[in-house]
Structure 1
């Protein structure tokens, strides 16, 4: 059976290659950072909580002390890239399309054909595993089609990951922070405050507070996955689902979308909003956020309506 652990091994191997390339260039800070991250993926489930905590603190120390630097590996020149673009046009995007196609089509085939009876993939992990398989298939296809140098994927990956830097693992860290907040009872505290403010029986106002809370906590934490455990424990589960009998699927799915609206509005989501501004060398580091306000706010309003109608009117 192919399990979730295989994806960790794949990611750990990629970070390990980047660590080795950084060490080859004597960029010791970057080498140590990516090597520790590789170890967390390869060995994290086999280490104690204390060991994993020390590993995370070491990552924070390296990043905080400025150990990560941008690299300039030998890759294709701008002229070569322009020549490829002129020659191949939009066909260059074909390898990228292989990834979602493999994930979606593979999931449907696996779940709705006799393939699902083979037990090839770990239950409830099929899509993520097929996503990883799609990445490998896209890489192999691109190598066979374009015939770049053998180390081109590793070097281009290192160039990109070094440009992003520590922000590449920010979602992982913030998601873990959300779990810590949930275990610490932050959701129960917020739920108690919300219960005292929201009038009894006001389903719509409860939906509004839930959606705004998802967006607000996401803006604070920078990640909707970090906000979800808190708001689900505070309002989603006890009030919307438990007390008012709302549709759990709609509340959970669209509640996450409400959180993603907050992602569009916060510099805390550095890998989405600050890193692109840096890569594009924009003068205003918040330029991306400013452009997204006009999308995020109306979309949040739509999500509130969808939760209210889909989880209560249509459900009941």
Structure 2
């Protein structure tokens, strides 16, 4: 366990890691703010469970780095009890009226897209021109976007961003944690040797030395395992250890081509699963769609076609 002062004063810790910890601290404070707002929301009949979820989530972001892993695990178990017991509910933060949105559109117009673009732009700048994490660059882009919106309209005061942030987090709810938990699960699977188990099973299916069959199994496995994990980055580690390395790369296939296309095969799985909540379920909640799987239904055919295309590319180019 590292003391925060020692951590930030240490020359062995990169500036990127230190900046990320500051960003996580701010994220934690926002989650705690959402928790307190929900606790004080008398109209929310599940305000105590909602408070518990957001407060424990924020607490882990704030102090998670500085407490033993077991305590973090205990906090996480306590945090998920509220969603499991269906005790997390959106508060009563009012949405902007049509009149308000029309007024803001006339005032700002298409300039509203500039703050949104700044998020991706600063992430790219951090990735391409600095040693700082693109994730922190994205955080800088958010701050720049807020400043721009405040310049565009004097009505955009800090309270507007806090309240709308609370409203957005309330809408997304516990689903906001799913991508993070699934990414962590991928690391756990790799450490637990799941890749080796998969390798042993697949060795009875793929003919020895048949790279084409190995590529097909690897690519389809990436799509399917991503559907289970909800995250292609989590799946590729396990599937490469279990299938990609021993049955494809070991026979001379180009690792650059195979690796990049295997990841996009995983993305085909991302399009087809509710586990990829930030892509497929969160938009349903935000747009208040009637069909919970409407996004997936419109993507599944394209995903299947692209999976076939990428398998052919892997076989031809590798």
1:176 aligns with 2:192: no
Contact preservation (8 Å) 1:174, 1:222: yes
Name the CA distance, whole Å, in 1 between partners of 2:39 and 2:257: 48
**1:130 matched to which residue of 2?**
137
Deviations 1:232-285 (CA, angstroms, capped at 9, x unpaired): 2201233333x1233334333332221111111122323322333344333332
Name the CA distance, whole Å, in 2 between partners of 1:102 and 1:286: 33
Q: 1:179 to 1:168 in 2, by over 3 A?
A: same
> What is the aligned-residue RMSD (CA, Å)?
2.1
- The counterpart of 1:51, out of the listed 68, 71, 79, is 71
Q: 1:172 to 1:107 in 2, by over 3 A?
A: closer
Name the CA distance, whole Å, in 1 between partners of 2:196 and 2:176: 31
- Residue 197 of structure 1 aligns to a residue whose secondary structure is coil
Query: Alpha-carbon deviation of 1:2?
Result: 4.2
**2:108 matched to which residue of 1?**
88
Query: Alpha-carbon deviation of 1:87?
Result: 4.3
- Residue 281 of structure 2 aligns to a residue whose secondary structure is helix
- Residue 72 of structure 1 aligns to a residue whose secondary structure is coil
1:146 aligns with 2:149: no
Query: Alpha-carbon deviation of 1:70?
Result: 1.1
Name the CA distance, whole Å, in 1 between partners of 2:302 and 2:285: 22
Query: Alpha-carbon deviation of 1:86?
Result: 4.1
Q: 1:127 to 1:271 in 2, by over 3 A?
A: closer
Contact preservation (8 Å) 2:284, 2:292: yes
TM-score (norm 2): 0.86
Range with greater deviation from structure 2 (155-164 or 98-107) = 98-107
Please list every run of 5 or more consecutive structure 2 residues that lacks an aligned counterpart in the other structure.
1-14
1:224 aligns with 2:232: yes
Aligned length: 297
Contact preservation (8 Å) 1:223, 1:263: yes
TM-score (norm 1): 0.86
Query: For residues 1-316 of structure 1, what are the structure 2 equivalents within 5 Å?
Result: 1-3=15-17, 4-26=20-42, 27-74=47-94, 76-110=96-130, 123=131, 125-147=132-154, 148-241=156-249, 243-310=250-317, 312=318
Name the CA distance, whole Å, in 2 between partners of 1:168 and 1:93: 24
Query: Alpha-carbon deviation of 1:98?
Result: 0.6
Query: Alpha-carbon deviation of 1:75?
Result: 5.1
- Runs (4+) off by over 6 Å: none
Larger relative contact order (CA 8 Å, sep ≥ 6): 1
Query: Alpha-carbon deviation of 1:189?
Result: 1.1
Please list every run of 5 or more consecutive structure 1 residues that lacks an aligned counterpart in the other structure.
111-122
